A and B are shown apart, each in its own frame.
Chain A
């Protein structure tokens, strides 16, 4: 306890030097925490928006869907999926189950034809899925407003521009049916939407599920999308659905959301790498800064080290004194940086700043932060450990001194 007290009080001997060390630590680790909190926000926001606008938490496919390529559209679709949907909806964590069909086709305004990527959806369920994360669902509302009318379509912004079409205009949608025949439908543009990526907007169309089934001449669904009440329940729900599928011998296979979210995985990897590099750089700065502070302390206090050793302090206790000084710097710096990061994230979140869109994306994104106390705790502990480690080498120098030399040191 005495060595901790000695270490703590020694921080005040050279107040300016200690203050500089603490400033380096506070701003360095504070910025690391800010970066980490922003990455956490981006990952969380992207995760939830990916789930609630694209993947759901789980997806159900025909069991051979990932084993071989389809030779015809919906060859590996889900037949009689309503029974499975009813069973899924009876599970406790499941909020929504909607069917989807993906298809490729051509869309024409009579003068110009453009290749398109189509998605057949249940507009009302899609709107509700987005509503769970408060994502706007205007496109789906517009489609749902037409009730059972299958002759409606929503166009991506780029595609609408390319065709010169807008809401109320009529276009022709063409594709091959499940039997391989060519089929076409006249549809009215109910909405124009813009997705996150501008390239996607130039090809994307959304139609009601019924429209897709008529166009493709099939009663199947491509997949079922399962949305849960909480993302954290994904593993539990996965296990429950697997059991259900096994018990009732449904010929399906399950995928978790992140297996179907390649973009999310790329972004997550990118942010982890950025944070990782920053962490290494900042911890090196902390290491050398603390090491320098302790080395200076050892050099300046050499006669005092001699006195302590002459009084009967052993080398381990001398080590503890200087090591504790480094640990105190780490602890105080770590706590100050956590406080700094907390205040900065709270302030910046309150300002609601929006950053410009990155290349390839249509929208900007908020400069927002999601501080994790668990990760903050780990980083603060890491700071203490780094400062402690940084103190070891200069402290060993102190403990190896000859007592008479240390006492006579000027």
Chain B
């Protein structure tokens, strides 16, 4: 099992590292090189944005960091261990304990309420009921959705759904929160609000975020911006604050 990069471990060590990672997809009869020899370390507490046009490899990097896909070559180091030799099912505990996911299409479970959607990752971790309730309420409060806890996703606006998704990602205090185009399905005002929320959580809670986006306003919020083109890193920019 991959240990969670948590307290008691070297806090200066990166949360996750991609070392010499390449990946190809087959689309019909043609091979598409999604990633070419990528080296990237995600540091604790950072707000990293993967920027680039469609097909540049943003989602593939997030999938590899999220331990839901495997590279063709190179290493994906998570919690100090190379995860490449392990099967995806064997990595389920690492995903469960250490990674929070925010999807472009929200991906909430429609038959569960807002509260239950946020509670779900804690049930997987067998957190006792009392503590679960406390943590879910705290997460909903952080995203400003306490008053919608009993509603089903279909009864929420797009922004509320994404805030539920964020609450579900942060409720387990993961080592890293991965957000794939989190504002793409939202209007610009709601997108900005969601982005502000993630920045606040990063600043106030110390949560590590890795976002992908091709929206310049979102990209501009990143403290470190990794620019991608055709599966390769074009450049890395550091920003203050």
Task: Answer whether A and B are interacting partners.
Answer: yes
Interface residues of A (CB under 8 A from B): 2, 6, 9-10, 12-13, 303-304, 307-315, 317, 402-404, 407
Q: Is the CB of B68 within 8 A of A13?
A: no
Q: Given A2-B120, A2-B123, A307-B103, is A314 in contact with B89 using a C-beta cutoff of 8 Å?
A: yes
Q: Is the CB of A312 within 8 A of B97?
A: yes
**13 A-B residue contacts at CB 8 Å?**
A9-B112, A304-B107, A307-B101, A308-B109, A309-B88, A311-B95, A311-B101, A312-B97, A312-B121, A313-B96, A314-B89, A314-B92, A315-B89
Tally of contacts, chain A with chain B, CB under 8 A:
67
A316 to chain B, nearest CB (A): 9
Q: A6-B111, A307-B101 are in contact. List 9 more A-B contacts (CB 8 A).
A: A9-B111, A9-B112, A310-B68, A311-B95, A314-B89, A402-B88, A403-B69, A403-B88, A407-B103
Specify which of B69, B110, B120 is in contact with A311 (CB 8 Å cutoff): B120
- Give the B interface residue count (CB, 8 A): 27
| B191 at interface by CB-CB < 8 Å | no
| B52 at interface by CB-CB < 8 Å | no
| B93 at interface by CB-CB < 8 Å | yes
- Quick one: closest A residue to B105, CB to CB? A303
Specify which of A2, A12, A310 is in contact with B95 (CB 8 Å cutoff): A310
B216 to chain A, nearest CB (A): 26
Most buried by B among A6, A312, A314, A404: A312
A8 to chain B, nearest CB (A): 9
Top 9 A-B residue pairs of the complex, sorted by shortest distance between their CB atoms: A312-B96, A9-B111, A403-B68, A312-B95, A314-B92, A307-B107, A404-B69, A2-B123, A315-B89
CA distance A407 to B66 in the complex (A): 13
CA distance A304 to B117 in the complex (A): 12
A2 to chain B, nearest CB (A): 5
- Quick one: closest A residue to B111, CB to CB? A9
Question: Inside 8 A of A311's CB, which chain B residues have their CB?
Answer: 95-96, 101, 120-121, 124, 168
A317 to chain B, nearest CB (A): 7
CA distance A309 to B109 in the complex (A): 12
Question: Inside 8 A of A309's CB, which chain B residues have their CB?
Answer: 68, 88, 92, 95
Question: Inside 8 A of A310's CB, which chain B residues have their CB?
Answer: 66, 68, 95, 101
Interface string of B90-129 (1 = CB under 8 A from A): 0011111101010101010111100000001101110000
A274 to chain B, nearest CB (A): 42
| B63 at interface by CB-CB < 8 Å | yes
Question: Inside 8 A of B124's CB, which chain A residues have their CB?
Answer: 311-313, 317
Q: Is the CB of A312 within 8 A of B92?
A: yes
A407 to chain B, nearest CB (A): 8
CA distance A9 to B68 in the complex (A): 27
CA distance A9 to B120 in the complex (A): 15
CA distance A311 to B165 in the complex (A): 11
Question: Inside 8 A of A404's CB, which chain B residues have their CB?
Answer: 63, 68-69
- Quick one: closest B residue to A3, CB to CB? B123
